[in-house]
Amino acid sequence: MTRVDDDGLICYSGGVFRTMESTMTKPIRVAVTGAAGQIGYSLIFSIAAGDMLGPDQPVILQLVELPVAMQALEGVGMELDDCAFPLLHSIELADDPMQGFKGADVVMLVGAKPRGAGQDRSDLIKSNGPIFTGQGEAIDAVAADDAKIIVVGNPCNTNALIAQSRAKRIPKKNFTAMTRLDQNRAVGQIARKAGVAPADVHDVFVWGNHSDTMVPDVSLGTVRTGSGTKSVVEAVSADWLGGDFDKTVRTRGKAIIVARGKSSAASAAMSAVNHIHDWFLGTGESKITSMAVPSDGSYGIPEGLIYSFPVKITAPWQYEIVRDLKVDDATKTRMMASAKELEEERAAVADLL
Ligand code: NAD
Ligand code: LMR
């Protein structure tokens, strides 16, 4: 039998008194910017439902918006209350990251302008880049010492670099950008082509920038079929992999904008959930996942660029870049072109770093 006192502090179970603090899993504080936007509207409900941090992990949501969007955010807060999520310990709303990032263990930087039809993501750099100076400084000032950061707002790799440059207190390794959506797109395409479920496709990943220069890589990929597990290259044709597949994955963001008139939202939210989930809880049946992380010089990628690599999760909140993969010359050339593009983006925001 368990009894909780009025003040919520003491419980009784099996004849032993103890404080709730010592028996409950401590809530994880998750700050989300752009929480009233398109992605935010999918993302925060999924976090509150336990999809991101697991079914036993309480969460405190610290939702951050621009002052002009605070009324909309109040409405989202009401809806969160109305869901009565068992894992949602509490919600805090803020129009200032210095307040909204206080004590945050996970910071999800989503709030930024999306591109329109006819724009490249890098065209957003001048308008969105400055958002990440102030947010990097706020992370530095008030987030938890070992806060983990994912940048979704585009161009996400370079925005992550900007935020990282302003947050000297936080380990550089903790600043990541999202390329999981690109990986998920690759998995979805392969599953459909091979006639299997996405759960049967593993270890497909993406190198480079979250842009058209990204390099989807299936060299480690496997497909589970009724007759056993095959490599992706055995399961689908090389022509398709080098043609439609590659182009579809690299340009999917644009195709969605053309079709919907708005950029991807639910799939982006799901991928952000996947990114943090796997960083914390591991990759399950897959050995690796794609994360854009600070380059350590592996594969000749200039050190410090936030570049998508295959990573292994070695412990909760610990990743390692997978080194020493054999990379063919054609792939290496494309990987370096993506790195060059990131160097150009870095040069374009030199004043913000
Ligand atoms: P949206 O316009 O629907 O929502 C953005 C929200 O961010 C708005 O509510 C806005 O008020 C808020 N915002 C803007 N500046 C802010 C700031 N400084 N602080 C706090 N909040 C702020 O846009 P969206 O569709 O949700 O997309 C958000 C970003 O994510 C865009 O830059 C988009 O390009 C990017 N995106 C990235 C990926 C990826 O794979 N990395 C995928 C999809 C979208
Ligand atoms: C995506 O890949 O869907 C997002 O980055 C949005 C965009 O601008 O393409």
Q: Is the pLDDT of residue 19 over 50?
A: no
Instruction: Please report the DSSP string for 192-218 in residue order.
Output: HHHTS-GGGEE--EEEB-SSTT-EEE-
| Angstrom distance (rounded) from CA 216 to CA 26 | 38
Among 89, 202, 210, 277, the one annotated catalytic: 210
CB 225 within 8 A of CB 234: no
Rounded Cα distance, 321 and 325, in Å: 10
CATH number assigned to the domain with residue range 27-177, chosen from the 4 options 3.40.50.720, 3.10.180.10, 1.20.140.10, 3.40.50.2000: 3.40.50.720
For the stretch 297-326, what's the b/e string if a residue is b when 16 or more beta carbons lie within 10 angstroms of its beta carbon? Answer: eebebeebbbbbbbbbbeeebebebbeeee
The atom of ligand 2 lying closest to the CA of 263 is 6
Contact call for residues 191 and 197 (beta carbons, < 8 A): yes
- The mean per-residue pLDDT over the stretch 27-51 comes to 98
**Ligand 1 contact, 114 CB (< 6 A):** yes
Taking CA atoms only, the protein residue closest to ligand 2 atom 3 is: 253
| Cross-strand pairs, 93 | 63
Domain 180-352 matching CATH 3.90.110.10: the answer reads yes
CA 208, 141, 43, 65 dihedral sign is: negative
Q: Is pLDDT of 178 > 90?
A: yes
Distance 182 CA to ligand 2 centre (A): 9
| pLDDT above 80: residue 9 | no
Average pLDDT score over residue span 267-292 = 97
Is 181 touching ligand 2 by the criterion CB < 6 Å? yes
Q: How confident is the model at residue 5 (pLDDT cuts 50, 70, 90)?
A: very low
Confidence of residue 63 (pLDDT cuts 50, 70, 90): very high
Residue 313 belongs to what H/E stretch?
strand 306-315
Q: Which helix (H) or strand (E) holds 109?
A: strand 106-109
Residue 60 corresponds to which amino acid?
I
111 Cα nearest atom in ligand 1: 7
Smallest CA-to-CA distance from 207 within 228, 186, 225 is with 186
pLDDT in tens, 143-166: 999 999 999 999 999 999 999 999
Identify which has the larger pLDDT, 350 or 119: 350
Tell me if 178 CB under 6 Å of ligand 1: yes
All CATH 3.40.50.720 domain ranges in the chain, comma separated: 27-177
pLDDT at position 20 is 39
Q: Does 121 contact ligand 2 (Cβ within 6 A)?
A: yes
**Closest Cα to atom 5, ligand 2: which residue?**
253
Distance 106 CA to ligand 1 centre (A): 17
What percent of the chain shows pLDDT beyond 90?
89
> What is the reported pTM?
0.93
**CB of 253 closer than 6 angstroms to any ligand 2 atom:** yes
Q: Does the pLDDT value for residue 111 go beyond 70?
A: yes
* pLDDT value at 10 more than 60: no
Residue 89 among the catalytic residues:
no
pLDDT, tens digit, for every residue of 73-87? 999 999 999 999 999
* Average pLDDT value for residue range 204-215: 98
The answer to whether residue 2 scores a pLDDT higher than 60 is no
Residue 119: pLDDT band by 50, 70, 90 thresholds?
confident
- Say which DSSP state 208 is in: B
The per-residue pLDDT for 24 is 66
pLDDT tens-place string over residues 120-132: 888 889 899 999 9
Helix (H, G, I), strand (E, B) or coil at 150: strand
CATH 3.90.110.10 domain extents, the chain: 180-352
Q: CA-CA distance, 2 to 313, in Å (whole number)?
A: 37
